Amino acid sequence: MKITSMPASNPIIHAPEAMWGSLLRERALSAAIEYDHSAILGWFRDHSSFYSDRIGSRQVWEQVRPLEKSDVAEVPVSVDDSIREARTSGTSGFQVSIRNNLRERRFRRALLYRPQLFYDLPAEVHQVVFVDGNWCAEAGMAPKLFEYGGVRYRTWFAGVAADVGQIHSLLRSLRPQLIRGISSGIVRFIDQADDSLRNLGVRYLAPGGEFLQPEWRKTMHDAFGATVLDCYGSTESGAIAWQCPLCRRYHANVDEIVLEADADGLLVTPLFVSSQPLLRYRLGDIVSFDAGSADCEIRLPTITIQQARRDDWVIGHDGRRVSPLSFQFEQIPHLDAWRLHQNHDGSLCLYFESVHPDIVAKELGRQLADAVPNQPFEVHEGIWRLGRGGKFKRVSSDLT
């Protein structure tokens, strides 16, 4: 299959929504993708003066300067009442706003659910999704309904910081075949649950949002006695790769995202986004394409994730483990970036960037004190005052 143009004529996102599942399945089973880089550059060049100036007369893909997080705010956004914004810090700590229209958001969901097209699931699935927050649904509440690939998903949500007893009650009542969501949130629940989880009937766990550590994978498998199939993606690009239920390698969605395993960090170009298109956007994760093709009926190429975002847990004064997802500072007005570190003595240092440091520092301190009560902390302007080698972490600890 040769992609000759960009999102305006992408054959899947512009197909009827009901066909997305079957088309994504069919493409995953077909031959390798061949890009027409010149045509893609032409689409970006015609999109806006921002990209026209950035690309210039260059015809060679690799000669176009990668888009960095600091450039995203300059990318023109389409005028559309259905545009919604998501903010992310990713691996750099610097926040960016990512905007998608309604159709793009729905297609991102279809791409996220692509692995389930190859799972052994019944026609109707109960699933619980671990998300940010401390609220947990109750079994009697109406689920969110979603039909995709011939399967009807009935979805309930559990906040990663919610009461463990409430989450356990929800799982016992629903007996979900599928658990998805934030990796550390699932692990937190397992660590604090005091009853066996193996009798709940869970078939698959599909964690995401963070690098899945081997010990986390083992914890999930041992706790539920279920198959663990990881998902890899980002707020900026959507689902990038997924662990295959057949060969267990990570198949990359290269038919919808141009992926470049650059030495300085993965570059992504989502082909289905026209609201705020990103050309050669640097995520920063270190991945490599596998040398040999997988012995698998799914023909999408496979990758190895070498380094990706993996925040630490903070240890409270009472020994309680505090998830890195407990720190939800992104919604503070005027905050541009933040970084939290726990010292050997347990004290915390919160570093930040802002054009209004006095106002932001006060609110950061209030929220940090709420998240980790009775823990000594300091708030400092300048996230790079903490000099640590290796991959960037928003939350790091000398105790873990």
Same domain for 154 and 289, yes or no, is no
Give residue 31's identity as a one-letter amino acid code. Answer: A
Core vs surface per residue 23-55: b (16+ CB within 10 A) or e: bbbebbeeeebebebeebbebbbebbeebeebb
Last residue of a domain, one of 175, 210, 228: 228
For residue 115, tell me if it sits in a domain.
no
Q: How many CB atoms lie within 10 A of CB 85?
A: 10
Helix intervals (H) in the chain = 20-28, 37-47, 49-55, 102-112, 164-174, 183-192, 214-224, 357-371
Taking only the tens of pLDDT, the chain with its 400 residues reads 455 445 444 669 989 999 999 999 999 999 778 889 999 999 999 999 999 999 999 999 999 999 988 899 899 999 899 999 887 755 455 667 889 999 999 999 999 999 999 999 999 999 999 987 778 999 999 999 999 999 999 999 998 878 899 999 999 999 999 999 988 789 889 988 877 899 999 999 999 877 787 888 999 999 999 999 999 998 899 999 999 999 999 999 999 999 999 888 899 999 999 999 999 999 878 899 998 877 899 999 999 988 666 677 888 888 888 877 778 787 789 887 788 999 999 999 999 888 999 999 999 999 999 999 999 999 999 876 765 533 446 788 888 6
Same domain for 145 and 177, yes or no, is yes
**Phi, psi angles (nearest 5°) of residue 16:** -55, 140
Same domain for 177 and 245, yes or no, is no
Last residue of a domain, one of 228, 261, 281: 228
Give residue 166's identity as a one-letter amino acid code. Answer: Q
Token pair of 244, please? 């295959």
Q: Are strands 227-228 and 204-208 parallel, antiparallel or unpaired?
A: parallel
Same domain for 213 and 238, yes or no, is no
Which DSSP letter does residue 312 get? P
Residues constituting the chain: 400
Query: Domain residues for 350?
Result: 314-397
238's CB contacts (< 8 A; 6+ apart) are 108, 111, 112, 256, 257, 270, 272
Same domain for 277 and 331, yes or no, is no
Same domain for 299 and 338, yes or no, is no
Same domain for 104 and 241, yes or no, is yes
DSSP percent split of the chain into helix, strand, coil, nearest 5: 30, 30, 45
Same domain for 222 and 239, yes or no, is no
Token pair of 107, please? 């297609």
Q: How many distinct structural domains can be found in the chain?
A: 3
Same domain for 283 and 320, yes or no, is no
Last residue of a domain, one of 193, 228, 263: 228
